[in-house]
A and B are shown apart, each in its own frame.
Chain A
Amino acid sequence: MYGVLRLINFAHSEIFMIGVFTSLFAMHAVGVDVADPAKTGFALVGVLVFALIVAMVCSGLAAVAMERIAYRPLRRRGAPRLAALITAIGMSLFLQELFAIRYGRNELGFPRVLAKRQLFAFQGANVRSDKVLVFVAAIVLMIALERFVARSRIGRGVRAVAQDQETAALMGVNIDRVIMITFLLGGVMAGAAGFLYGIFFEVARFNIGFLPGIKAFTAAVLGGIGNVRGALLGGLLLGLLETYGQTVLGGEWKDVFAFTVLVLVLMFRPTGILGESAGRVRA
């Protein structure tokens, strides 16, 4: 998303947070509670799919609404980037606090819909059902996104807008729509991520988006911005580095580690690992 808008959307973290919350509410809505035992079979699939869809829809809509209300007026005016950044920070703060006030500042528990069984052990690593779900879902979504951007007509429009907005308009690309779709896509992906986070960590909290947001950005920068494959690679790499750093330095330094990686990457290779072409394009 950054690649298209050239804008760090700090509020993206909050779109993610909305995904976590709405997938929780979706579960509540179909009567699944913290105390309930894990589901199996169709009930399991049904609840998971329902929660996933609700999260994706809500996050997507929230992202689109944000674009309409806060960003479009700035774009219309041709406001400088600083203004957009400040808007993003304001949005982020606003949404966080809105959830904090409405749903309290404490963690809300997730029902354990999916039993966390060990499926099998692989070279001493414990492969658990929820981990498999998260991993597979992430890969599937990534591939779908990359296909969409690379192949579809709208995807081409997105790439054109990323490179040159005015010319894109002259080619018949509806810029407002493309940007809205970009926000929608980003929101939907964040919603799905929120759902997966909920299944995995089983908590929802108003400020839950902050660290994953920073880390997602680090991953994107690490892999090369505006590049779906790069983001995936960056995510994997950051995860590995973090786990490694944790064992060496101790758990409480984990987040420092993520920030340090971010700072180092930005300083020494701002185009990221796979970002060569993107970097040149922007230059």
Chain B
Amino acid sequence: MKWRPVALFDAVRRRWDPLPTAAKLAIAAGVLVLGAVAPLGVSPYWQSVLFAPVGIYVLLALGLNIVVGQAGLLDLGYVAFYAVGAYTTAKLTLPAAHGGAGWQPWLALPVAVVVAMIAGVVIGAPTLRLRGDYLAIVTLGFGEIVRIVAQNTNALGESRGLNPIPHPASVGGLHFTGQPYPYYLLVLTAITLALIVLARLTRSRVGRAWAAIREDEDAAEAMGVDTFRMKLWAFAMGASTGGLAGWIYASKVNFINPPQFELLISILILAAVVLGGMGSAPGVIVGAFAIAFLPEYLRQAAAGRTLLRGLNALTGGNAGDITEYRLLLFGFVLVVMMIFRPQGLLPSRQRAAELLPEEESFATPVTPTVVPTGDASADIVVADAKPAGEPLLELRQLRIQFGGIVALQDVSLVVPSGSIFGIIGPNGAGKTTLFNCVTGVYQPTDGDILLDDASVVGRKQHQVTRAGVARTFQNIRLFPNLTALDNVIVGTDARHGTSVPGALVHTPRHRVEERDGRNEALALLEFVGIARQANNLARNLSYGDQRRLEIARAMATAPRVLMLDEPAAGMNPSEKRGLMQLIRAIRDRGLTVVLIEHDMSLVMQVCERIAVLDFGQKIAEGSPTEIQNDPKVIAAYLGTPSDAA
């Protein structure tokens, strides 16, 4: 049921992907030149259409794409930033007689961008903790608030709007008057800039963090990603692009008023991003172009009049102009796209994988169990360890309560450096809660947690990870649509510091971190024995390999304490033997391992010390032999001792 135009897009993509970078750059430059020159061949009317809505929509869509496509945050109030940019420009550049500051528009440019960015941060900071659809509705609310404020504030012109906004001064041979072509070039420049920014960010620590957040926010936080700050950056980058579009638009049209910044613009831009393909720059450009250009084209063309008659007959309406059907058709397109091609016309490879049917993780290429080589590859970074045997992780009288239920009651533990420490107990005894407390997911009600004599209580999860505690999850939480290699690189990023500015200008630090991260990640994949899977998507790995990948990802943060939550769950005996070797190999590299496990034979063989939890209390602690013979443990947990070893 392949629809032919769609197949065409797929064919383009297939040809494009394998091209060498140089060829891609050359083609891109060619397209750019063509894009700059082509409008000279059309009438001023079409030039003006190419500036707005086409150019402006493309720019806005690229900005929104950072928020929706990269960070996966559904923002329905994106128009607010466009409005902030435009109104800032207007207030700064209007002559004093019209209530403005009389600035030269070029000077207002950076201010408009920065103010929009600040607006993004101001709106983002309180709302980004919300998830999914709540975020959507709150941003929608904010978008409306901005418009209503403009509508009701005298200084912002109320519904009268603001004019006359001056044109920018001439630059080189370009004279910015009422003519559309110079502005078209301006918007083309802005689009090019936005594309470069997007490309650089995507292929950096920041882009990986966004992908990780999109895939599994909790796991991202646990891998040391400062999810809040990264989401805020996405919002700020999207907002500043909106501000830039606002400046260009206001300078061209001279007159702005609230109806130009209605909610519908947000939705149209979203439609453009969805139509083209979330996260895919060429897709978004095609989508925005279609949404902005087609209605204008159809208004003029004969085909449009036929279509109009058809639509009028269908709906029983009597619209005189095809543009009246614009929104109806876009609404329809959104619904149809979600049903038949959710990944968009020109999808990014990765987002396509995310939006297509989710499958239960399954052993795709069934890989034979690989016994870890344990090769001490020089690239793996290991945090400085305390001398073996000294206390590394200490819980003091740890207590946590949810409502009236005490989940952990005054648990004290000392995990010696360089040891393998087991925590056992029946389900619901508080083992995973203890992990969550140590890693900062939950804040303890009382008591203290010390890592290397420094308290980690009160720190956020990503801070605890960076302080040296990394974990895996009971029910494997990888970033399923990232490759195995990228999963591990996200882990190494916890130790790196490149942020948006660094990634934009490619600082030396950025380059070093990119190279090191990649090498370390490869070494870690080798270490856990799944190097051959480096370029496979995590979700396509076999179950056992996924467990190994999760361990590699946690090790990539160079932790001092590695906390494994039921690493052997669902493994067969031979896989378990491999896992035991791996755990020992990890310890031999100087890491301290804490593990929760139900498989008693594994626990008894691999752990040096074991603590037993029952109903939130520690009922025993000691060597495996002591635990196996402890009457309290036998009564509460083990049952007949013969079952164990």
Report A-B touching, CB under 8 Å: yes
- Residues on the A chain within 8 Å of B337, using CB: 86, 90
A33 at the interface (CB under 8 A from B): no
Residue numbers in A under 8 Å from B358 (CB-CB) = 78, 80
A-B contact pairs, 9 of them (CB 8 A): A69-B335, A81-B133, A87-B335, A93-B327, A93-B334, A214-B140, A259-B141, A266-B134, A270-B130
Q: Which residues of B contact A85 (CB under 8 A)?
A: 74, 132-133, 136
Establish whether residues B270 and A7, one from each chain, have CB atoms under 8 Å apart when the complex forms. Answer: no
Q: Is the CB of A90 within 8 A of B133?
A: no
Considering the complex of A and B, which 4 residue pairs feature the smallest CB-CB distances, nearest first?
A90-B334, A93-B331, A94-B331, A101-B317
Binds A, one of B143-151, B382-390, B409-417, B427-435: B143-151
List B residues 92-139 near A (Cβ within 8 Å): 126-127, 129-130, 132-134, 136-138
**Chain B interface: which of A134-142, A149-157, A228-236, A249-257?**
A249-257
Contact partners of A255 in chain B: CB under 8 A: 144, 148
0 or 1 for each of A49-87: is its CB under 8 Å from B? (1 = yes): 000000000000000000001100110011111111111
A133 at the B interface (CB under 8 A): no
A81, A84, A263 — most chain B CB neighbours (10 Å) = A263
When each residue 59-81 of chain B gets 1 if its CB lies under 8 Å from chain A and 0 otherwise, what string results? 00000000000001010100000
Interface status of A92 (Cβ within 8 A of chain B): yes
The proximity string for B residues 331-343 relative to A, scoring 1 for CB distances below 8 Å and 0 otherwise, is: 1111101110010
> Chain B contacts of A81 at CB under 8 A?
132-133
| In the complex, number of A-B residue pairs with CB atoms less than 8 Å apart | 131
In this assembly, does A260 line the interface, its C-beta being within 8 Å of a C-beta of chain B?
yes
**Residues B126 and A86 in contact, CB atoms below 8 Å apart:** no
Listed in ascending order, the chain A residues whose CB lies under 8 Å from chain B are 7-8, 69-70, 73-74, 77-87, 89-98, 101-102, 214, 217, 252-253, 255-256, 259-260, 262-263, 266-267, 270
Tell whether, in the assembled complex, residue B74 and residue A256 are in contact, meaning their CB atoms are under 8 Å apart.
no
Q: B333 contacts which of A90, A101, A263 (Cβ < 8 Å)?
A: A90
- With A79-B338, A97-B325, A262-B138 as contacts: A90 and B144 at CB distance below 8 Å: no
Interface size of B as a range: 35 or more
Known contacts A70-B335, A101-B328, A253-B148; decide if A267 and B129 are in contact (CB<8 Å): yes
Across-interface contacts of A101 in B (CB, < 8 A) = 315, 317, 319, 324-325, 328
Interface check B392, CB cutoff 8 A: no
Give, as a whole number of angstroms, the nearest-CB distance from B76 to chain A.
8
**Chain B neighbourhood of A70, CB < 8 A:** 335, 338-339
**CB contact list, B628-642 vs A, under 8 A:** none
B315 touches A98 (CB 8 A): yes
Which of A79, A89, A97, A255 has the most chain B CB atoms closer than 10 A to its own CB?
A: A89
Q: Which residue of B lies closest to A79 (CB)?
A: B342
B562 at the interface (CB under 8 A from A): no
Majority secondary structure, B binding face: helix
Instruction: Find out whether the CB atom of B137 lies under 8 angstroms from the CB atom of A8.
Output: yes
Task: Report how far A74 CA is from B271 CA in the complex, Å.
Answer: 18
A94 and B335: CB pair below 8 A?
yes
B residues 242-281 with Cβ under 8 Å of A? 267, 270-271, 274
| A89 CA to B269 CA, complexed, in Å | 12
Complex contacts, A214 vs chain B, CB 8 Å: 137, 140-141
Looking at the assembled complex, report how far the CB atom of B436 sits from the nearest CB atom of chain A, in whole angstroms: 13
Min C-beta distance of A162 to chain B, whole Å: 16
Which of B136, B137, B142 has the largest count of A CB atoms less than 10 A from its CB? B137
Instruction: Name the A residues within 8 Å of B144 (CB-CB).
Output: 255-256, 259
Q: How far is the CB of A64 from chain B (nearest CB, A)?
A: 16
Which residues does chain A contribute within 8 Å of B142, judged by CB atoms?
259, 263
Residues A252 and B152 in contact, CB atoms below 8 Å apart: yes
Tell me which of A91, A96, A102, A256 contacts B317 (CB under 8 A).
A102
Determine the residue in chain B with the shortest Cβ distance to A76: B357
With both chains docked as a complex, state the minimum distance between the C-beta of A68 and any C-beta of chain B, in angstroms.
Answer: 12
Q: Which of A77, A82, A89, A260 contacts B357 (CB 8 A)?
A: A77
Q: Which of B583-633 contact A (CB under 8 A)?
A: none
Of chain A, the residue at the smallest CB distance from B126 is A267
Kindly state whether residue B501 has any CB partner on chain A within 8 Å: no
* CB nearest neighbor in B for A9: B133
Contact residue among A80, A97, A252 (Cβ-Cβ distance under 8 Å from B327): A97
A214 to B72, alpha carbons, bound, how many Å? 23
CB-CB under 8 A from A252, the residues of chain B are: 148, 151-152
- Give min CB distance, B212 to chain A, whole Å: 16
A residues in contact with B319, CB < 8 Å: 101
Is B330 in contact with chain A by the CB < 8 A criterion?
yes
Residue of A nearest to B278 (CB): A82
Residue in contact with B137 in the complex, picked from A74, A83, A217, CB distance below 8 Å: A217
A80 to B132, CA, bound (A): 11
Chain A residues in 8 Å Cβ range of B76: 89
Further 14 A-B residue pairs, CB within 8 A, beyond A94-B334, A98-B315, A255-B148: A8-B133, A78-B357, A82-B72, A84-B338, A85-B74, A94-B332, A96-B327, A97-B328, A101-B324, A102-B316, A259-B142, A266-B127, A266-B134, A267-B130
Q: Tell me which of A7, A69, A86 contacts B334 (CB under 8 A).
A: A86
B331 x A256 contact (CB < 8 A):
no
Interface check B354, CB cutoff 8 A: yes
Rounded to whole Å, the gap between the CB of A269 and the closest CB of chain B is: 12
A84–B274 Cα distance when bound, in Å, is 12
Contact A256 B355 (CB under 8 A): no
Q: Give the distance in Å from the alpha carbon of A79 to the alpha carbon of B134 in the complex.
A: 18
With A89-B270, A255-B148, A256-B145 known to touch, is A83 a contact of B338 (CB < 8 Å)? Answer: yes
